[in-house]
Structure 1
Amino acid sequence: MDLNSDLGESLGAWRMGDDDAMLGIVSSANVACGFHAGDAAGILRTLRAAARQGVTVGAHVAYPDLAGFGRRNMDVASADLVADVIYQIGALKGLAKVAGTTVRYVKPHGALYNTIAHDERQARDVIEAIRAIDDSLYLVGLAGSPLLQWARESGLRTVAEAFADRAYTPQGTLVSRREKGAVLHDAGEVAARMLRLATEGVVQAIDGSTVRIEADSICVHGDSPGAIEMAREVRALFERSGVTVKSFVDAVPDGARR
């Protein structure tokens, strides 16, 4: 099972998360590209640290929304969205080359991630952008969402993602951050939930029911309170239980989920 986290999000004097510590735990790093967070020097530092740790790197593309941390919905014209995504991936590819690593996948951030899970027009814009710059890149998206099928139909390799620190509805979607109980904080509880996901393919929904989630990767948000403790607990429990933690790039053979 792959563990991923959102990194490279510090901006100037504003510190977000502990990238060095998280890179010692996760197998994949979703690195900000400067649109929702991150500055060039900080992103380069994170990429160099990922290269040293042997962590797989992905482009964490977003709406142009620094003030809202990429969490505000935007009705971006197709031409702009395609160009924005190409621009972000290209910038990260350049920095990654200097850092001694390569960009292997794309994971949209925040509102863009949630929108393209179901909005076909914006989803196809992001898919078009990825295929235009590098069609060997994987696309990471919400497990069970139509996005993954649209991407596979276009020829992209896809990775279904679950969230360690987020609550699920009985329908298998994420509970809105605006609702009570949407974000989980107990590291032990989170680890137990994710072990069940990895071994049984199910999680307990917010109403107590059981929902099936087929995922190749689990995200622990790097900016969540106690994120490092949570990620360590998930990985430690996986290892004690015989669940191997490795990047989906290594776990999913070429051509799979295509």
Structure 2
Amino acid sequence: MNDFERAIVYLNDPFNWSRPNGIADLAVEHLTISLVAVLAAMVVALPIGTALGTSRRGGGLVVGLSNVSRAVPTLALLTLFAVSPIGFGNRATTIALAVFAVPPILTNTFVGFRGVDPEVREAARGMGMSRGQVLTRVELPLALPLLMTGIRTATVQVVATAGLAALVGGGGLGRLINLGFGQQDYGVMIAGAIAVAGLALLTEAVLALVSWLVTPGPRRLPFLQVRRAEGAGAVPEPTASGVPL
């Protein structure tokens, strides 16, 4: 039995899921760390991106902040936190992941609000809407697709990276990878990697569905749109009389 087969056997064992600190408990802890990190990033990035996007200023600042944040590795932040009062554990990981999640949310929020047509804003103001009403009823719905894309991208990245928590004494599915590596049990290590990847893919699917549900306008499933487009572009076959069907 090779390492990949041992990983599949490990994942198919119900005891490994239901026992204390098993896969189920670690997955919940993994998602909790990720959710707190993304929410913290949203609290910081959404107001800044909205303010700069609606004023159509600060593009250079947004690009600069995003580039600086992307240039700092999460593992480097965890190392710095370890020698600071923040220390080890889930708190350090959550802060590092929040910094990691800020750039995509900030950038997409800024681009989404900046892309709203100024004439649409002026028309809304001409109808007597207040500044707050223009923001929530006009600008936000138009910027929402890009905004949700930024949140989805950040969340998937955070879920995929949260396994680093195990390196600084934290929890999550990364503990399986760390355990397998420490015991030279590559089957357990591969099982942990599969679990993290599966959780990231599940997160992507759920947030894609949420984004589809909250996007304004008629909602059509993507594969239905493709089929209708193909049907609209098809040339009718002529009959024997030369008249198309």
- Per the normalisation by structure 2, the TM-score is 0.23
Greater helix share, structure number: 2
Greater share of residues in strand: 1
Based on CA coordinates, which of the two structures has the bigger radius of gyration? Answer: 2
Between 1 and 2, higher relative CO (CA 8 Å, sep ≥ 6) is seen in 2
TM value normalised by structure 1: 0.22
